[in-house]
Amino acid sequence: MKSLKDYKIILRPDDNGTFIAYIPVIKGCHAWGKTPEAALCVNYILFLR
């Protein structure tokens, strides 16, 4: 099984001051947060599901 480190994660600011993190090769694996760290953390949790 691959780990999250094996995938390219895109992290970008959104228009409303939050951040979006997503993995392009995994459909539906995207998350947002108030900080870049929060977005990455939620994305990690989604990846584990």
Q: Is the pLDDT of residue 29 over 80?
A: yes
The pLDDT value recorded for residue 41 is 87
Mean pLDDT, the chain, integer: 88
Average pLDDT over residues 9-20: 95
Q: Is the pLDDT of residue 45 over 90?
A: no
The band of 22, judged by pLDDT with boundaries at 50, 70 and 90, is very high
The pLDDT value recorded for residue 19 is 96
pLDDT digits (tens, 9 = 90+) for 3-14: 778 889 999 999
Task: Provide the number of structural domains found in the chain.
Answer: 1
**Which contacts (CB < 8 Å, 24+ apart) does range 33-37 have?**
36/11
* Residue ranges making up the domain that contains 11: 4-48
